[in-house]
Structure 1
Amino acid sequence: MFYETLPIKCNPDPLTVAGLAASLNEDPVAVQLLLGTATKYDLLISPEDVKGLIPLSIMQVLWRRANVQPAIGAALLQAYPEITSSLEEVLFFRADEFGEEEDPFLFFRSTSPESIPVPATDDYIDVVQDRFFIWRRPKHDRHALGCSLLPEKSDLPLEAYLDALATLRRLPTYEPKWLGRMDGHQFVLNHNAEPQRAELHGSLTSFTEAGVSFEDSYSFKISINITLAARDVKRRTLGLAVVA
């Protein structure tokens, strides 16, 4: 009845530029730029720690999908370390602080190579009008969701397990946070960033009333699934196939 899961061990050999290029599916010259930028902004834990690939994967996908230069992506992640922590919660899942790493969502099985979104677990960064950044993460408790899918929780009532499956399958509501904006080659932090609707005030809205939300009104935006990008990188690092 419960999904079978196994502990995941992440002990790769020290990652060279060539190894990182394979994990990121990226050109080695570009990898050196990403590495140098991440190091400058103190984003790397160590070259041997797979968790250190999360910032690199986010910087890369923002760069390649939304033309956000690595330095801006790095400055954003340095200002908001909770983004990296949010991805770690899902991609390096532990039922408790001292437990082994587990895979309740079956992301790192040889039988699940498809690179597809899982809305219940995935974080997004929206790049609005090539300038503004909004981070969106599901509102529900993903740690509790993962625990409900672990085999050792088989003593849970059937109803709890079915509720977890329903949550996993439905489109979540998101907690948006306006991070800041690009100004030329710099990232300008939103010092009042809160998990709330970012507002655009203009000639058609009163400054004394709620403005139009970025989520509702914009010329264009690019939504980047940063969890999926990091998940693919970790799969390649573990020697698992990734099918786009």
Structure 2
Amino acid sequence: MKIILFLLLIIATGAAAAAPDQVNCLSWHLAVETDNIRDWETVPPQCKSYVSAYMTGQQYRDDCNVVVNTAIEYAKTLNVSKEGKDLWVFNVDEVTLSNVPYFSRPTVGFGARKSNVGKKYESWIKEGKSPAVPGVLNLYKTLLDLGIKPIFITDTEEEFRQVRMTNLKKAGYNSWFKFICKGKNDTYSRGYSEYYDTNWKSKKRAALVKSGYRLVGNLGGWWDIYGDFLLRTFKMPNPMYYF
């Protein structure tokens, strides 16, 4: 009996010791999604398996659907102009197109430093196999029915414009008002406090507003939705990268 109790104590102690790492990953994820942890590039090593399980599991899909359904309900309340001046901004990576199949590859992995840039990532873009992010097609189709024009803004370089547009259509996004790629002179500042002055996406949105359009919504990541000119922003879940 004493031996059994001793073994149970070891098991319980081991479980208690493992718990903090899991709690830390959950807390880290919450801080990321609420923008309390900013300007990071690498998932903590102990949380890579957590991020992998989250992004490939049902919880990620459920979280995406909550954002999308909230955006749909908001869109239905809008007084859409008859002049066709109402636009909705869609960003691309982990917003309309998912790179989960790419990050799932053993040679890439979830949380690798700068794994969403470089030649390996460019090769993935050229494949044109990114599926739609769960639920986002429902928002896209609802906006079209309401008379709100979708536009896409992406960090994808101009040279990949055609392959990205083809991928979007293959995934179900069949039409849009504008598709804006990142040009050679379009840059970010990595400093959070300087972001508002150097965010090229914000400048593109400002130009549209200056031309007389109304940006009624924006679906994206943290760096995508900062800035003015928007009636409402919606943050998509993404614990894989911040920038």
Same fold (TM over 0.5): no
**TM-score normalised to the size of structure 1?**
0.28
The structure whose Rg is larger is: 2
**TM-score normalised to the size of structure 2?**
0.28
Compare the two structures and name the one with the higher helix fraction.
2
